[in-house]
Structure 1
Amino acid sequence: MILRSVVGKLWLTIIILVSLVLILLSLFLSEQVEKTYVKDQKASLSQLADEIQKTLKALGSDQTQYLHDMSKISEMFNTYMVILDRDGSVLTNVGSPVVSNVPWKDVLSQQELDKILRGEKMEPKTERVSLDDQTGLSLPFLKDDILVVGVPYFNGEDIKGILILYQTQDQLSETDIKRWIFYSALIGIVLTTVFAFFLSTRITRPLIQMKKAAEKMARGQFSTRVPVRFHERDEIADLAMTFNRMAGQLEDSIHQLSQEKEQLFSILRSMSDGVLTMNKFGKVILTNPPADRFLGLWREKDSDKEMNTLPPPLRNFFNKVVEDEQEHMGDITEQGRTWAVIMAPLYAGDQVRGVVAVLRDVTEERRLDKMRKDFVANVSHELRTPLAMLQGYSEALMDDIAETPEERREIALVINEESQRMGRLVRELLDLARMEAGHIRVEPGQLSIYEFIQRVIRKFQALARDQQIRLSADLADGLPDVCWDGDKIEQVLTNLIDNAIRHTPPEGFVRVRVYEEKERIFLEVEDTGSGIPEEDLPFVFERFYKADKARTRGQSGGTGLGLSIVKHLVSAHGGEVSVKSSLGEGTVFIIQLPIRVKEEGKDL
């Protein structure tokens, strides 16, 4: 964990660097102490021993006073002198009396004693002495380590013993110096560790704060800032200030993006057109409510499909757009509704990263366009036939083709019938135009349903007999009197009964049923005719709509406006009209009317 943090790396780097420096410095100083201080001490002690030896050799046998004087003088310079006889025992008449108890045979080896007694000089050396353990003495000037040198002791020309000069540890501080050097190095390492940790922590604290701030920003907390001490302006403080500026700009950018995203979503939700966005693999990633309703049509048909899977018609458009990298458009029809589709590629640089599609429900537009075309075609057709007949028969009269009065009368009768047919068509067109413009004036009046229905039935009895069709009325008991516009409701029933008779084969029947339910009067016109295909039922009340596409207006005898007029008249009375039919099984038109109809906002 230490090596994975900046504090740990910086701390270890400082400690290792300082430790190496202190250790190398300690070794260097120890070596220098060894080379300079100890070497000089040994040389000085050895030179002093040589000088004393020469003097003693020159004095001959009169040495006692000189030895006592040199002993006193050497002690002033922290150097002590001892004379041993040839057996290694201390001569008691010279030197300090306390050193006689020092076990010099343990300090100097037998080989060194023999070497000195042969007239050779012993090189200075450092030796360890423990007087407390061996003599029972505790001397303040004799401690564990001494620097000792030995030379032959001459009394005249003969070697009488061994002259030893030594310096105690109090005066010889080589070991102490080395020890304190290493103690100082150790203390330096410890202090370096503490200060390095403090320094690294202080230096890296802003970095740690920036790291925590970055983690918070990664979790979406873009308002996070790093505290900055302005009285400690350095590179790290500048970095923290730059980080805060970056965080502020990022927060502003995220806020603006969020606002733009919300604005885009609001626009998409408020659009009446459906919008879908797909990635380059054809998965739906964004939709608005109209697009969801569009996709719901296929999800209802195939519940196993994933929610973000394109329906087959859109998949074909998608493949074309991705392949061509161009915009494509067209229509999709499903369940009686039509959508206009515009699909275009979305780019990321030069690559197609997805596709956007706009869907518009154009069912009503297509229906109205078809109605317009059908209206023009039907009106042209309806007018063309009588105009052609009028032109032909009038030319026959002008050319005197009809020779007898009976032929001329017959031609005049045809011209009259076609003129009436044209007038009826124009009149119904004008009535329908007024109705669609809302210019229907309902003038309710009190009516007896029984008398009203019977009167309408009697009007069609002759026509029904001629067509060999049974026409009847089925009225429930206890029906109340109603307040309707009798002329307009009679026109409604006339159009429905006339249609029923014209589309019912011989030996069939047409029945008018009247009953009351939930304070509303129901009028049903039922026939046993050819019926209406199921796919045509939603459109039968449109102008000029023909359920039988092969039948012409001349064959049916109608103008194609009757059911549309029926719908407008019933709606003007506050009622509803519907149809039930099966192909080859007949048709039932159902009218619901209130018992009392309002006139100009007043309940009569």
Structure 2
Amino acid sequence: MVLVLLSLFLSEQVENTYGKDQLKSLENLATEIQSNLTKTVPDHTQYLNNVLKVSELFHTYIVLLDPSGAVSPVGVSPKVPDVPWQEVLKKEDIQKVLHGERVFKRGKITLEKDPTDFSLFKNDILLVAVPYIKDGKTTGAIVLYQTQEQLSETDIKRWIFYSALIGIALTTVFAFFLSTRISQPLIQIKKAAEKMARGEFFIRVPVRYHERDEVAELALTFNCMASQLEDSIHQLSQEKEQLFSILRSMTDGVLTINRYGKIILSNPVAGRFLSTWKGQIKENTLPPPMQVFFDKVIEDNKEHTGDITEQGRTWVVVMSPLYYRDQVRGVVAVLRDVTEERRLEKMRKDFVANVSHELRTPLAMLQGYSEALMDDIAETPEERREIAQVINEESQRMGRLVRELLDLARMEAGHIQIVPTERSLYDFVQRIIRKFQALAREKQVHLSAKIEENLPCIYWDGDKIEQVLTNLIDNAIRHTPPEGSVCVHVYEQDGMIHLDVEDTGSGIPEEDLPFVFERFYKADKARTRGQSGGTGLGLSIVKHLVNAHGGNVSVKSQLGVGTVFMVELPVRVKVEEEVSLA
């Protein structure tokens, strides 16, 4: 396009400059001929002949026209065709010349009759007509003209046109070649960049090392960037995977929350925590208790800590802001399930309080009655014997409490020695029933046993299971009112031996049933202390002994109706369990 515009500009300049120069030269020649004919040349015919000879050497032709526009026989170039000059110079043009004006024509001359020998007028023509003055009078017109074949301007314009065509062709080929050489590597870089945008960081651009131009340098820089980016992404991926592994293996829950309250990252422990509110909250949103902490962190721009309790479990929540430069971009929350810790802490406090309470009463009684003996308050032997009996009972009670505490401590530490022996289940249960018959008669409670026939021989630690039944039957008798009944039901089901101790006592409140096997639990919290009062450790000991045999113990109760303790034991204790529990 530039070459085409340049060619048109040059052609126009040649036409405007060189063509005008030719026209000016032709005009000057006509003026000179006119001047010489008018002033200095006496013989016009000889002068014109001389001028004709000279001008034809420069492809310039002269014609003299009379006032009618016809060719004058005086001074005509021999190469001028016989044409109707009235059509070349119109009548009005002749009149202008006769009145002393000059006429200029440039371009195509159109004739009504165009014989084949009028070849000089087939192309453009440059023509100047001036008045012919003879003896002081204008007698005609002197016409000087040049045709296109004689004009250098035409050749110049033709060569400009040809040069433009050749230049355009060469430039197009070179531009296409250069564009391909430049654009092809750039297209490869573009495609490589698109693949990298899709995550293919291993892609590289081929480089022509023998041509170290700007494009090659760009490709080398791109490959260096891609290599560094691939290394960075690989390192980030490793760190991310390592971080996820750490988060997955953590026992604490971790949540990452953006500044709009949406969860963007969580580990499995946190997922289990959020499942507590499943169906109550939308996906990736915070439960209401955590939303309160989140709002505080965003508002105060500092860490907050607190407890969340839901469905009987307690979590400690620590929320800290995450920063991007000076702005909070989110929050990280760490969750820890402290339900067991809180339960153990409560058990520890209850244990200390219960032990203190259990020991305080017998110690006070021992101190009081011993001071009574020392101060001789008891006057008669019977009174001193009664005081001594109370001191003995309280001492035995303290001893029993200490023994049971030691036994329970050993059991909770896993130091339970199980020594199983084979024996008859019927004889074993009947012997324990007979041991409690006297106490049952004293309490006016009917004690019985219902034992299924054809029961297999058992392979248990007899002393430990006897302690289990002793605690259960003793509790049942002590909490059954007179005229009530206690029954021990023994049967086999699904390969397991079931020992159910059922009474018709006062029962246990439903809200207390989950805690009956904890230490120092007492079904009758209002009962008075004395020989019949227990330590509150019996059921906890029962649970540990049954579990040590690979069994299970549970309870059912209804206030005012009675209670059933159900013990489920395998027929034979496995040897591997003996070893692991020893």
TM-score using structure 2 length: 0.87
Are 2:411 and 1:411 aligned? no
Task: Say if 1:432 and 1:183 are closer, same or farther in 2 by CA, change over 3 A.
Answer: same
Are 2:260 and 1:284 aligned? no
Partner of 2:376: 400
- Secondary structure at 2:42 match in 1: helix
Task: Say if 1:426 and 1:26 are closer, same or farther in 2 by CA, change over 3 A.
Answer: same
Superposed displacement of residue 503, structure 1? 2.3
Superposed displacement of residue 289, structure 1? 0.8
Are 2:296 and 1:317 aligned? no
Alignment partners' CA distance in 2, 1:335 and 1:555: 40
Alignment partners' CA distance in 1, 2:77 and 2:178: 58
Alignment partners' CA distance in 1, 2:87 and 2:564: 143
Partner of 1:591: 567
Alignment partners' CA distance in 1, 2:102 and 2:543: 144
Opposite residue 217 of structure 1, the aligned amino acid is M
Picking from 19, 23, 26, the partner of 1:38 is 23
Task: Say if 1:467 and 1:29 are closer, same or farther in 2 by CA, change over 3 A.
Answer: farther
Opposite residue 128 of structure 2, the aligned amino acid is V
Picking from 423, 446, 455, the partner of 2:422 is 446
Are 2:98 and 1:125 aligned? no
Alignment partners' CA distance in 2, 1:81 and 1:193: 48
Deviation sequence 1:119-164 (CA, Å, 0-9, x none):
x464453353357x62422455553222333455678888765543
Opposite residue 504 of structure 1, the aligned amino acid is T
Opposite residue 557 of structure 1, the aligned amino acid is G
Deviation sequence 1:491-542 (CA, Å, 0-9, x none):
1111111112222333433221111112211111122333334444343323
Task: Say if 1:193 and 1:429 are closer, same or farther in 2 by CA, change over 3 A.
Answer: same
Superposed displacement of residue 470, structure 1? 2.8
Alignment partners' CA distance in 1, 2:364 and 2:13: 133
Task: Say if 1:487 and 1:187 are closer, same or farther in 2 by CA, change over 3 A.
Answer: same
Picking from 242, 257, 265, the partner of 2:244 is 265
1:289-304 to 2 correspondences below 5 Å: 289-299=268-278, 303-304=279-280
1:562-601 to 2 correspondences below 5 Å: 562-598=538-574
Deviation sequence 1:409-468 (CA, Å, 0-9, x none):
112211221222122222222322333344433333332222222222222223223333
Task: Say if 1:173 and 1:160 are closer, same or farther in 2 by CA, change over 3 A.
Answer: same
Partner of 1:255: 234
Picking from 56, 61, 67, the partner of 1:80 is 61
Provide the aligned length of Structure 1 versus Structure 2. Answer: 579
Alignment partners' CA distance in 2, 1:154 and 1:319: 115
Superposed displacement of residue 566, structure 1? 1.4
Task: Tell me if structure 2 keeps the 8 A contact 1:23–1:185.
Answer: no
Partner of 1:327: 303
- Secondary structure at 1:446 match in 2: strand
Partner of 1:529: 505
Superposed displacement of residue 173, structure 1? 3.8
Alignment partners' CA distance in 2, 1:570 and 1:364: 22
Are 2:43 and 1:59 aligned? yes
Superposed displacement of residue 335, structure 1? 2.2
Task: Say if 1:331 and 1:100 are closer, same or farther in 2 by CA, change over 3 A.
Answer: closer
Task: Say if 1:100 and 1:26 are closer, same or farther in 2 by CA, change over 3 A.
Answer: closer
1:492-507 to 2 correspondences below 5 Å: 492-507=468-483
Task: Tell me if structure 2 keeps the 8 A contact 1:127–1:148.
Answer: no
Alignment partners' CA distance in 1, 2:162 and 2:432: 131
- Secondary structure at 1:58 match in 2: coil
Task: Say if 1:598 and 1:81 are closer, same or farther in 2 by CA, change over 3 A.
Answer: closer
Task: Say if 1:394 and 1:364 are closer, same or farther in 2 by CA, change over 3 A.
Answer: same
Alignment partners' CA distance in 2, 1:590 and 1:521: 10
Are 2:438 and 1:462 aligned? yes
Task: Tell me if structure 2 keeps the 8 A contact 1:154–1:160.
Answer: yes
Alignment partners' CA distance in 2, 1:234 and 1:223: 24
Superposed displacement of residue 548, structure 1? 5.5
Picking from 110, 113, 118, the partner of 2:91 is 110
Deviation sequence 1:458-481 (CA, Å, 0-9, x none):
222232233333322222232223
Opposite residue 199 of structure 2, the aligned amino acid is G
Which sections of structure 2, spanning at least 5 residues, go unmatched?
Answer: none
Task: Tell me if structure 1 keeps the 8 A contact 2:38–2:135.
Answer: no
Task: Say if 1:456 and 1:181 are closer, same or farther in 2 by CA, change over 3 A.
Answer: same
Q: Percent identity?
A: 67
Are 2:457 and 1:481 aligned? yes
Task: Tell me if structure 2 keeps the 8 A contact 1:117–1:161.
Answer: yes
Task: Tell me if structure 2 keeps the 8 A contact 1:280–1:353.
Answer: yes
Superposed displacement of residue 87, structure 1? 4.2
Partner of 1:12: none
Alignment partners' CA distance in 1, 2:529 and 2:175: 106
Task: Tell me if structure 2 keeps the 8 A contact 1:50–1:151.
Answer: no
Alignment partners' CA distance in 2, 1:381 and 1:104: 152
Alignment partners' CA distance in 2, 1:144 and 1:394: 158
Are 2:347 and 1:371 aligned? yes
Task: Say if 1:48 and 1:23 are closer, same or farther in 2 by CA, change over 3 A.
Answer: same
Partner of 2:224: 245
Superposed displacement of residue 211, structure 1? 4.3
Superposed displacement of residue 340, structure 1? 2.1
Picking from 136, 154, 164, the partner of 2:115 is 136
Task: Tell me if structure 1 keeps the 8 A contact 2:34–2:132.
Answer: no
Alignment partners' CA distance in 2, 1:22 and 1:585: 121
Picking from 196, 212, 217, the partner of 2:196 is 217
Task: Tell me if structure 2 keeps the 8 A contact 1:152–1:163.
Answer: yes
TM-score using structure 1 length: 0.84
Task: Tell me if structure 1 keeps the 8 A contact 2:69–2:91.
Answer: no
Partner of 1:558: 534
Alignment partners' CA distance in 2, 1:553 and 1:284: 57
Alignment partners' CA distance in 2, 1:36 and 1:114: 26
- Secondary structure at 2:437 match in 1: helix
Task: Say if 1:265 and 1:316 are closer, same or farther in 2 by CA, change over 3 A.
Answer: same
Alignment partners' CA distance in 2, 1:340 and 1:332: 6
Partner of 1:348: 324
Task: Tell me if structure 2 keeps the 8 A contact 1:153–1:162.
Answer: yes
Alignment partners' CA distance in 1, 2:219 and 2:531: 92
CA-atom RMSD in angstroms: 3.5
Task: Say if 1:157 and 1:394 are closer, same or farther in 2 by CA, change over 3 A.
Answer: closer
- Secondary structure at 1:545 match in 2: coil
Range moving further from structure 2, 357-366 or 196-205: 196-205
Superposed displacement of residue 98, structure 1? 6.5
Opposite residue 581 of structure 1, the aligned amino acid is S
